[in-house]
Amino acid sequence: MDKLKLKRAILLQTLATNKKNHVLTQFMRQALAEYELLLSERKGCNTFMDFHHKTLMASKERTGFNVQVRCSLIRDAYRKNSDRVNALTVKFNIPRNAKTFRTKTNFFVELRFQDGQKIAVPIKQNRNYQRFCLNMTQGWICKTFGLTSKLELVAYLQKEKQVPNRPNVLGIDVNVKNFAVTVLSPKGKVLCQTYLGKNIYVKRTHLMIRRALLQSLNARKKLKRLRHRERNFVKNNIGQVVAEVLKIADKYTAEIAVENLQRFPRKSKNFNRIVMRMPFYKFKQNLQQRCFDHNIYLNIVDAYHTSKWCSHCGAVGYGHAKNNYSLFKCKTCGQVVNSDRKSSLAVAVKALLERIEPCSNQPCFSFQISKRQVPVSGLIRLDEANSENSESQMLLAEGKPMIFSHG
């Protein structure tokens, strides 16, 4: 059994009076001013503890906030990548600085800013409030509330549950043009390979051309409608891609594995316009939610060398063809395959290798790769018989990788 943990946030609108809104506004102004000072004091702090020791006592002298509120501001200021403040959400933990209670007509969230100062905020009973109540009845736990700059409350929910193990692995490679999918069995046999979401790239290319034309004509209203149209199109199609992925996972009884992609560094304008528009975050967020609802384990694997590893000989190099980036050509064995398909296979292989637990009677199966040559431990697996003289252990002793068969 694998344990799944999911977090979600629900925005709750308030029905506070003018007097309460004035108190909340004054508090948010003080918090915003303190947050800007904390951002300016990050220079010279290499670790979070250095920044915490540097700013905690100074923040205590400037403001009378509770310790948890000050620590929340310090933590968020240290994690922020820029020096500009676009929006601010101050968090209040339950039960120290926040609690909830009901009356005959309303639901209240009581926030405690400092000693002796607290305020009970009534919540508007709309669809978001109904969704919050439904999640609370379904086992979700709310331990933190957040107050936004618009004087709205954010309920942070979390839930854990056990899901059954599945034998096969479905690896997904997300790129600009499509979503490559590969289903791999524990024996190393490829059960299914396909591509999803090709129409997203085609449609967005046409919209980019139309956007350039409208920008030249300075048609702001049409540009605004086009932006909403593109956002809705991408959102709907990503939902369809996730639904297809779940169908394939249920058909082959497989768990799902995706890469842990980080934000790309900004390069040229053309690179940002094409690559930075990759809908990976929306896809990953939707996939996490749907996997949690369908009791499918989602494995986030490291993206290191998934596009440079050769699935035939195990060598690691640059690999891509000179004139066609979509093709992968191994310089060691000469294999030529589609780079997206091979990357999805590498994601599934990494998920399989993470399952193997080393013990005293078996060699180590950790995934260690040198920069240019065959992996140190090899991309290998135990065979079905698991005997001492099996072919897999012979390859392990020789330090050779195993070849994954396609069927």
Strands across the sheet containing 2-12: 2-12, 153-163, 141-148, 89-93
Residue 102 and residue 11 share a domain: yes
135 and 201 co-located in one domain: no
Determine the structural domain holding residue 30 and report its residue range: 2-161
Structure tokens that stand for 336 in this block: 């030529």
Q: Does 197 fall in a domain?
A: yes
In a domain, 405, yes or no: no
**pLDDT at position 145:** 93
Greatest distance between any 2 Cα atoms in the chain: 80
The answer as to whether 288 is a domain residue is: yes
DSSP 324: -
Please indicate, yes or no, whether residues 210 and 127 belong to a single structural domain of this protein.
Answer: no
* Model confidence pTM above 0.85: no
Compute CA distances 1 → 90, 162, 275, 336, whole Å: 37, 6, 37, 38
Distance between CA atoms of residues 226 and 214, nearest Å: 10
How many angstroms separate the CA atoms of 364 and 346, rounded?
Answer: 19
Is 12 among the domain residues?
yes
Look at residue 276 and tell me if it is in a domain: yes
Whether 254 maps to a domain, the answer reads yes
For residue 181, the model assigns a pLDDT of 92
Are residues 105 and 173 both part of a single domain? no
Asked if residue 202 and residue 148 are part of one domain, the reply reads no
**Mean of pLDDT values over 30-52:** 86
**pLDDT of residue 100 exceeding 50:** yes
What is the number of structural domains in the chain? 2
pLDDT, tens digit, 9 for 90 and up, residues 244-303: 999 999 999 999 999 887 655 556 666 666 665 667 778 888 898 888 888 888 888 877
For residues 152 and 172, state if they share a domain: no
% the chain with pLDDT above 70: 80
The answer for 96, left when phi > 0, alpha when psi is -120 to 50, beta otherwise, is: alpha
Q: Are 78 and 48 in contact (CB under 8 A)?
A: yes
* CA 375 – CA 21 distance, rounded (Å): 61
> Stretch 221-245: mean pLDDT, rounded?
89
Cβ–Cβ < 8 Å for 347, 172: yes
User: With bands split at pLDDT 50, 70 and 90, how would you rate the model's confidence at 387?
Assistant: very low
Query: Are 278 and 368 part of one and the same domain?
Result: yes
Which of 161, 186, 205 is the C-terminal boundary of a domain?
161
Q: Distance of CA 29 to CAs 18, 23, 32, 35, Å?
A: 16, 10, 5, 10
The residue among 183, 182, 175, 179 whose CA lies nearest residue 196 is: 179
Based on the domain organization, do 262 and 324 belong to the same domain?
yes
pLDDT, tens digit, 9 for 90 and up, residues 200-230: 888 888 888 888 888 888 888 888 898 888 8
CA distance 8 to 284: 14
309 forms beta bridges with: 316
pLDDT classification of 374: cutoffs 50, 70, 90: very low
Task: Please indicate whether residue 399 or residue 286 has the higher confidence score (pLDDT).
Answer: 286
Specify whether 350 is located in the same domain as 227. Answer: yes
**DSSP structure string for 125-175:** -SHHHHHHHHHHHTT-EEEEEEEETTS-EEEEEEEEEEE---SEEEEEEE-
Buried b (16+ CB within 10 A) or exposed e, 360-388: eeeeebebebeeeebbebbbbbbeeeeee
Tell which of 161, 194, 225 closes a domain. 161
Helix (H) or strand (E) holding 191: strand 190-196
Of 118 and 405, the one with more pLDDT: 118
How much is the average pLDDT of 59-79? 86
Nearest Cα neighbor of 182 from 265, 269, 254 is: 254
The pLDDT of residue 274 is 62
Q: Is the pLDDT of residue 319 over 80?
A: no
Q: Which of 79-83, 184-188, 386-390 has the lowest mean pLDDT?
A: 386-390
Beta-ladder partners of 268: none
- Residue 404 inside a domain? The answer is no
Check whether residue 193 and residue 318 sit in a common domain: yes
* Domain endpoint, select from 103, 126, 161: 161
Q: Is residue 20 part of a domain?
A: yes
Closest of 13, 31, 236, 176 to residue 109, by C-alpha: 13
Tell me the pLDDT band of 375, cut-offs 50, 70 and 90: very low
Domain identity same for 97 and 112: yes
Q: Is the pLDDT of residue 197 over 80?
A: yes
Say yes or no: 149 and 184 in one domain: no
